[in-house]
Amino acid sequence: MTTTVDASEIAKFEAMAAEWWDPNGKFKPLHMLNPCRLDYITRQIAEEFDRDLTAPRAFEGLRLLDIGCGGGLLSEPMARLGADVVGVDAAERNIPVAQTHAMQSGLEIDYRFTTAEAMADAGEQFDAVLNMEVVEHVADPLAYLTACQQLLKPGGLHICSTINRNPKSFAVAILGAEYVMRWLPKGTHDWSKFITPDELYDLIRKAGLDPVDRKGFVFNPVTWAWRLSDRDLSVNYVTASLKPA
């Protein structure tokens, strides 16, 4: 079985596994970004599958895959919205952390230590695949995105976020986050593996998906909060694409 897992990348996250749910720990940037990510994800799913986000369990009946689920920061809100959630991670130590927190939260989530490729090979199918901040850590982005496409049912929704590659992203995501703010351990990101929005759209198309939207995640150091932007994709950004029906 082929895999796009990069062992050195996985080792970084294995070392941080126990800190997933500490809002002031090594995953503080994700905790800060999470409301903005969830806003985008829930709106895209609601629009694509004609769901009312004000309704209880708005995503009831949808099967959703969260790749690189970590401790479950996205899987848990999706489960609360009623989705049937499978969370997978290639870092084995993340899974018991996620399972324990879900149990404490009274949520049923199917967490697995596995890869997108293994699940695709097994013929698993989902209405939506969340692929957030993973593609910049894999060894072969096109093979990985192709596996994501195979995991979708026809008409399924793929949401993928990553980091742009330019001087600003080096200054913000690496120098700023890892060296100045010390939000992340040094070496968490490899700037050369960052992907520009146009490159990602090209990879998504080559993987057999149709891109339909992209937005920037923009951090405001004055309000200390993230927001979505239609125009500023200079550092963090997110895309939505569909598998042809």
**More confident: 166 or 189:** 166
Under the banding of pLDDT at 50, 70 and 90, the label for residue 179 is very low
Return the pLDDT at 7. 74
**More confident: 15 or 52:** 52
Return the pLDDT at 28. 82
212-to-37, 65, 169 alpha-carbon distances in Å: 17, 19, 24
Beta bridge partners of 65: 86, 129
Cβ of 211: how many Cβ atoms within 10 Å?
Answer: 18
Return the pLDDT at 178. 55
pLDDT digits (tens, 9 = 90+) for 89-132: 998 989 989 999 999 899 999 999 999 999 999 999 999 999 99
Least confident of 58-72, 165-179, 226-240: 165-179
Mean pLDDT along residues 139-155: 97
Q: Is 227 left (phi over 0), alpha (psi -120 to 50) or beta?
A: beta
- Mean residue pLDDT across the chain: 89
CB burial class (10 A; 0-12, 13-18, 19+) of residue 122? Answer: exposed
